A and B are shown apart, each in its own frame.
Chain A
Amino acid sequence: MDLSIRSGEVHALVGENGAGKSTLGRCLAGVLIPDEGELLVDAAPVQYRAPRDALNDGITIVEQELALVPAMSVADNVLLGHRKGAAGGLRRRRALSAEVQGLNDRFALGLEVSRTVESLTVADQQKVEILRALSRQARIIVMDEPTARLARDEADNLLRVIRMLAEQGTAIVFISHILDDVLSIAERVTVMRNGEVVKSGEAAAETPASLVEAMLGRAASLEFPEKRPVGVDVAPILSVRNLSDGRRVHDVSFEVRPGEILGLGGLVGCGRSEVARLVFGAERPARGAIEIDGAVTGIGSVRHAVGHGLAYLPENRKDLGLLLDLSSQENATLAHLDQVTRWGFISPRRERREATAILERLSVSPADPALRVKALSGGNQQKVLFSKWLWQAPRLLIADEPTRGVDVGAKFAIYELLVELAAEGMAILLISSEMEELIGLSHRVVVMARGRGVAELDGEQVHEERILHAAFASRAEPAREASA
């Protein structure tokens, strides 16, 4: 494949998972060493053996997994491995810190350079990496999915920073699944499929639909599946009343009925995921009641929750969801091993049969149940996670960011799956930072802000403006209080 990047342009790379976007980015920045082919910088061929070589030419990468030392300050992280910072004593370091501060101000990143990195949000940590790139006079910054883990307002802020960088002459290689971000920021877009460039051109000529078509090699529907009506007088499966954990969740109440998809909206850090963990028994509530079928239960452990027919797809599938070293089959059966166990022994034939059936139903590919989950693509890993919780059909599915890091094709498959499950009578508690997804799937949306439920929107009321209004209105409150 061929690709060229001009200075001062934002060049987007899009494609399905496994199309080779990240691999290409990592080759550029010297993280991976290409087997064949040429890399020309300023029209001169170069060969990078390590990230350091690329850095010397002003090329660096901000990867999905950030590479920072959590306990060190922003300034120290930026200066880490810096030739100038290595020797020179305290005075020299102060001067360098001031330089870091200067860069921060020039690009309006809004970081406090003396704070430790671990005390920052993910969005700010990303900015630390950008700051580090800037401090090395980076001319090309490769950014791999920079907005995937950010809330909308944080993402917009980052896009603004990227625009400013480009105006000052830095080229940005912007790898992303979020096509709206791509189209709002990129000058040129390159679409990859199976390691090859299938399309490359001006972003202005593209639409989300045209990009998806190029990525998949066929036209795809970007429509959300139709919502099915929920019976009005059906008793709720789950009622949460005045739930508090004493720290990040305060007085949250809501109900979910069979067949209903209830969305939990709000900004990142508003307490949505914490509510999910409380309901699932992964954390203990300080106050409040959780009722299942109208009866108060003392959900104090995950085992109770599973016993009551609850299932939980956690936000971060690598940390909380999957065992990457185990096979698809072993992951799929882990939560309900009792079903295939007799006298403590797992029946290999039954386990294989059951696992194969559920993995096939969710069309995990490759379909080999003995394959390690580590070897699967992000979308297929997510399907394995679904199969783990759908094998013994739950009554309530809590899905926290079910499409994060999943490519477009798999994303719509997951939407269809969720709507289909609800139509079969499952109740679904959906948490999503993607506004379209929340609106497109949910029958009702409870908006949270600062740990409280601030609005409940139903039917026609479920649209972007109302949700954002509710989420931000309450955020402004403490500021007013403080100034009063």
Chain B
Amino acid sequence: MSSEALATVTPTRPIGGRALLGWARDYGIVVALLVLVAIFAVATDTFLTQRNLSNLVEQSAEPGLLACGMTVVIIAGEFDLSVGAILGFAAVVAAFFVNEAGLVAAVLAALAAGVGLGVVNGFIVTRLRIPSFLATLSTAFVIVGAAIYLTDGTDNYRVNDFLSFSQFADGELLAVKYKAWIALAAFVAVWAILRGTRFGRQIFAVGGNPDAARISGVRVRLVTTGAFVLCGALAALAGAISASDTGVAQADGGVGMEFAAVAAVVIGGTSVAGGRGSVWRTLAGVMLLAVVANGFTLLYISPTYDQLVQGTIILAAIVADSWLKRKAAP
């Protein structure tokens, strides 16, 4: 055996501005939102008006509710691509019940429909063991189909007494429509559930490591189903709002909205791997998308570029998040 040195190494321990990167990862979304608000506030006279800001939050109500529920499911380590379909189905149910039995019954029936569809999604995912991506992709088609069937194939369902039903979504409190307050209340409630309750803690556990959760005595299937139920109920609430807002329940009115919901969750910084995230992040993500769309309108930029810009923002958010995650990792 020879004794000459083959390799010599003299490393030192890694150091660096990791704390700053970690902070950027945690609160970058808020900074981005504030920067955009500042830009539009300076660039336009109309952005910071009371009317425009009300509009902004009111338009975010339905996408916000979907994204809020989606956050819960994603933290639980699953996906729900049927939220758009549930919105349309629940809108039809609400319109039907408001004609037959009044406003309260309409909202409760829509919520019940959302809960029921959440149970179905949960059952397919946890008992039939179908990956949620595929399960909810399929149920989305079934749910839209069922909603069209309920409208006798006409695709939509009219509310007879539109004027009184519209109070549910469009009544005003402090010059902001109820629907924005409802969405805000939903965000606060879900935040409290995730942060403060046993169910919330178990959602994080199941999403983070289902095996470890099971070995700790967590009823994994029940918790996962609970996440789908919560998500379904919030989507249904959005459906009731949509019927009340427009006076027409469109059976496929929510199709496509699930992707905007996933986008808002991801832009906020909730991990699609599950087990990490927060609902305030999603709120920031929803507002960011809304502010961009709104600002572009005010700047008279052609709607031709809307999707292009939104897509680029989503991509940038994901790239930045992934980059910061790697740099700031312990």
The verdict on A202 contacting chain B, using a C-beta distance below 8 Å, is no
Report the Cα distance A419→B196, complex, angstroms.
37
Q: B294: shortest Cβ distance to chain A, in Å?
A: 34
The verdict on B276 contacting chain A, using a C-beta distance below 8 Å, is yes
Contact B10 A1 (CB under 8 A): yes
The verdict on B318 contacting chain A, using a C-beta distance below 8 Å, is no
Cross-chain contact of A40 among B5, B197, B216, B275 (Cβ < 8 A): B5
The segment from B111-119, B138-146, B200-208 that touches chain A is B200-208
The verdict on B4 contacting chain A, using a C-beta distance below 8 Å, is yes
The verdict on A59 contacting chain B, using a C-beta distance below 8 Å, is yes
Asked whether A2 and B10 contact (CB < 8 A) given A320-B211, A325-B276, A326-B204, the answer is: yes
Asked whether A322 and B2 contact (CB < 8 A) given A3-B8, A27-B9, A37-B11, the answer is: no
**What mask results when residues 203 to 222 of chain B are scored 1 for a CB within 8 Å of chain A, else 0?**
01100110111111111000
The verdict on A465 contacting chain B, using a C-beta distance below 8 Å, is no
Asked whether A1 and B11 contact (CB < 8 A) given A8-B2, A302-B214, A334-B205, the answer is: yes
Contact B205 A323 (CB under 8 A): yes
Cross-chain contact of A43 among B5, B213, B215 (Cβ < 8 A): B5
Name the residue of chain B whose CB is nearest to the CB of A59.
B7
| Count of interface residues, chain B, beta-carbon cutoff 8 Å | 37
Q: Which residues in chain B, 82-114, are within 8 Å of chain A measured between CB atoms?
A: none
Report the Cα distance A282→B13, complex, angstroms.
42
Contact B330 A375 (CB under 8 A): yes
Asked whether A6 and B6 contact (CB < 8 A) given A325-B275, A326-B205, the answer is: yes
Contact B198 A344 (CB under 8 A): yes
Contact B196 A346 (CB under 8 A): yes
Q: Which residues of B contact A280 (CB under 8 A)?
A: 215
The verdict on A195 contacting chain B, using a C-beta distance below 8 Å, is yes
Contact A28 B198 (CB under 8 A): no
The verdict on A39 contacting chain B, using a C-beta distance below 8 Å, is yes
Report the Cα distance A467→B4, complex, angstroms.
45
Cross-chain contact of B8 among A4, A321, A323 (Cβ < 8 A): A4
Cross-chain contact of A9 among B1, B11, B15, B199 (Cβ < 8 A): B1
- Chain A's interface size range is 35 or more
The verdict on A440 contacting chain B, using a C-beta distance below 8 Å, is no
Asked whether A28 and B215 contact (CB < 8 A) given A6-B2, A34-B12, A325-B275, the answer is: no
Contact A334 B11 (CB under 8 A): no
Q: A484: shortest Cβ distance to chain B, in Å?
A: 43
Report the Cα distance A426→B251, complex, angstroms.
62
Report the Cα distance A34→B214, complex, angstroms.
40
Contact A6 B4 (CB under 8 A): yes
Contact B9 A24 (CB under 8 A): yes
Q: B251: shortest Cβ distance to chain A, in Å?
A: 36
The verdict on B154 contacting chain A, using a C-beta distance below 8 Å, is no
Contact B209 A323 (CB under 8 A): yes
Q: B134: shortest Cβ distance to chain A, in Å?
A: 21
Q: Which residues of A contact B204 (CB under 8 A)?
A: 323, 325-326, 330
Asked whether A320 and B7 contact (CB < 8 A) given A6-B2, A35-B15, A345-B197, the answer is: no
Q: Which residues of B contact A388 (CB under 8 A)?
A: 216
Q: Which residues of A contact B202 (CB under 8 A)?
A: 337
Asked whether A319 and B211 contact (CB < 8 A) given A27-B9, A140-B6, the answer is: yes
Q: Which residues of B contact A51 (CB under 8 A)?
A: none
Q: B13: shortest Cβ distance to chain A, in Å?
A: 5
Contact A282 B198 (CB under 8 A): no
Report the Cα distance A139→B14, complex, angstroms.
27
For B204, B208, B212, the residue with the greatest tally of chain A CB atoms inside 10 Å of its CB is: B212
Q: Which residues of B contact A37 (CB under 8 A)?
A: 9-12
Contact A346 B216 (CB under 8 A): no
Asked whether A334 and B276 contact (CB < 8 A) given A3-B9, A36-B12, A139-B6, the answer is: no
**What mask results when residues 267 to 284 of chain A are scored 1 for a CB within 8 Å of chain B, else 0?**
000000000000010100
Contact B217 A302 (CB under 8 A): yes
Report the Cα distance A319→B211, complex, angstroms.
7
Q: Which residues of B contact A330 (CB under 8 A)?
A: 201, 204-205
Q: Which residues of A contact B196 (CB under 8 A)?
A: 345-346, 348
For B10, B214, B218, the residue with the greatest tally of chain A CB atoms inside 10 Å of its CB is: B10
Name the residue of chain A whose CB is nearest to the CB of B16.
A35
Contact A6 B197 (CB under 8 A): no
Contact B7 A41 (CB under 8 A): yes
Asked whether A40 and B2 contact (CB < 8 A) given A302-B214, A320-B215, A330-B201, the answer is: no
Q: Which residues in chain A, 315-341, are within 8 Å of chain B measured between CB atoms?
A: 319-326, 330, 334-335, 337-338, 341
Cross-chain contact of B208 among A1, A20, A27, A323 (Cβ < 8 A): A323
Asked whether A341 and B1 contact (CB < 8 A) given A4-B8, A303-B217, the answer is: no
The verdict on B302 contacting chain A, using a C-beta distance below 8 Å, is no
Name the residue of chain B whose CB is nearest to the CB of A34.
B11
Q: Which residues of A contact B5 (CB under 8 A)?
A: 4-6, 40, 43
The verdict on B3 contacting chain A, using a C-beta distance below 8 Å, is yes
Contact A346 B8 (CB under 8 A): no
Asked whether A6 and B215 contact (CB < 8 A) given A28-B9, A34-B9, A330-B201, the answer is: no
The verdict on A397 contacting chain B, using a C-beta distance below 8 Å, is no
Contact A35 B217 (CB under 8 A): no
Q: Which residues of B contact A305 (CB under 8 A)?
A: 217
Name the residue of chain B whose CB is nearest to the CB of A187.
B1
Q: A380: shortest Cβ distance to chain B, in Å?
A: 13
Report the Cα distance A111→B11, complex, angstroms.
37
Contact B198 A338 (CB under 8 A): yes
Contact A24 B330 (CB under 8 A): no
Report the Cα distance A3→B9, complex, angstroms.
6
Report the Cα distance A449→B276, complex, angstroms.
42
Contact B8 A42 (CB under 8 A): no
Q: Which residues in chain A, 222-246, are within 8 Å of chain B measured between CB atoms?
A: none
The verdict on A171 contacting chain B, using a C-beta distance below 8 Å, is yes
Report the Cα distance A458→B84, complex, angstroms.
65
Asked whether A344 and B8 contact (CB < 8 A) given A319-B211, A322-B209, A323-B205, the answer is: no
Asked whether A337 and B201 contact (CB < 8 A) given A6-B5, A323-B275, the answer is: yes
Q: Which residues of B contact A23 (CB under 8 A)?
A: 11, 13
Cross-chain contact of A8 among B1, B209, B214 (Cβ < 8 A): B1
Q: Which residues of A contact B209 (CB under 8 A)?
A: 319, 322-324
Report the Cα distance A42→B7, complex, angstroms.
6
Report the Cα distance A356→B209, complex, angstroms.
23
4 additional A-B pairs beyond A39-B9, A39-B10, A40-B7, beta carbons within 8 Å, are A8-B2, A40-B8, A171-B7, A344-B199
Write 26 A-B pairs (CB below 8 A) sorted by A numbering.
A2-B8, A4-B8, A5-B7, A7-B2, A7-B4, A23-B11, A34-B11, A35-B12, A37-B10, A39-B10, A40-B8, A195-B12, A282-B214, A302-B214, A303-B219, A305-B217, A319-B209, A322-B209, A323-B208, A323-B275, A326-B205, A326-B208, A334-B213, A334-B216, A337-B201, A341-B198
What is A's interface to B at a CB cutoff of 8 Å? 1-9, 20, 23-24, 27-28, 32, 34-43, 59, 139-140, 166, 169, 171, 195, 280, 282, 302-303, 305-306, 312, 314, 319-326, 330, 334-335, 337-338, 341, 344-346, 348, 374-375, 388
What is B's interface to A at a CB cutoff of 8 Å? 1-15, 196-199, 201-202, 204-205, 208-209, 211-219, 275-276, 330
